[in-house]
Amino acid sequence: MADNKSAVSAEQANATRLAGGKRMVEVSKGLPPGKAYGVDEAVKIIKSRAKAKFDETIEIAMNLGVDPKHADQMVRGVCNLPNGSGRTARVAVFARGAKAEEAKNAGADVVGAEDLVEQVAAGNINFDRCIATPDMMGLVGRLGKVLGPRGLMPNPRVGTVTMDVVSAVKGAKGGSVEFRVEKSGIVHAGVGKASFTEQALVENIRAFVDSVVKAKPNGSKGTYLKKVSLSSTMGPGLKVDASTVSSGPAG
């Protein structure tokens, strides 16, 4: 009898481990595997199950019908979340003279030219977003191997190489979110906090999805928006009906 109890306990322990631990089993109770929810219902469920002792981030993951290995299928852009991200980003700006002063006045945390290039080259990266004026890109370009792997390299396509440093800094501080498809064809980002209202989260989610849909590359064939899921930092992931999050064509 003891052997049977041991066997059952071992099976239960293994099932719990595979499900992500006791906590994940608890927060996933009553959620049918594979069910697709409307975005409003999904947000309501995720908020109700975000029980961590900190303000969990609400995250979105989108599986796209692209192969990023091909240049004409790369998906990259920026989305200004209408209700902010709930996260305060540290922003660095590569600029000189008047533009450097404008960046400081706009709230940039780190501003510099050659001195900042030297700091970054030495591995001192104490910022989350990076902006540069066009005239600085000759210097900043040397930092590609340092900033590129971290997703921090300034790029005119996402508005981080610009003379309008004031708008860029305020956008980065106020909730603009950059996105870039991964090798597996997935785009993911934080779209708010569990403390946000349901309406604010839904608005942010729809804005983000629309930005990704608008960034559909010409090389993408077939279904573009294949799958959408939402989760909180410590909560379960829910499949979301794509038709409830996108106002544009997802095909």
Q: Which residue has the tokens 């979301």?
A: 240
Using DSSP, state whether 78 is helix, strand or coil.
strand
Q: Is 60 exceeded by the pLDDT of residue 6? A: no
Rounded to whole angstroms, the Cα distance separating 152 from 220 reads 25
Q: How many DSSP H helices and E strands does the chain contain?
A: 9, 10
Confidence of residue 88 (pLDDT cuts 50, 70, 90): confident
Distances (CA, A) of 188 to 60, 61, 133, 191: 5, 4, 27, 9
Homologous superfamily assigned to 32-84+177-244: Ribosomal protein L1/L10, rRNA-binding domain (3.30.190.20)
Rounded to whole angstroms, the Cα distance separating 248 from 240 reads 16
Domain with CATH 3.40.50.790 in the chain: 91-174
Q: Is 90 exceeded by the pLDDT of residue 28? A: no
Class in CATH terms, 91-174: alpha beta
Q: Is 90 exceeded by the pLDDT of residue 40? A: yes
Q: pLDDT tens, 198-246?
A: 999 999 999 999 999 999 998 888 899 999 999 999 888 899 999 999 7
The predicted structure's pLDDT at residue 77: 87
Domain with CATH 3.30.190.20 in the chain: 32-84+177-244
Q: What is the DSSP letter of 51?
A: -
Q: Are 112 and 119 in contact (CB under 8 A)?
A: yes
Beta sheet of 36-37, edge-to-edge order: 36-37, 238-240, 225-232, 57-64, 186-193
Q: Give the lowest-confidence range in 26-35, 91-100, 132-141, 205-214.
A: 26-35
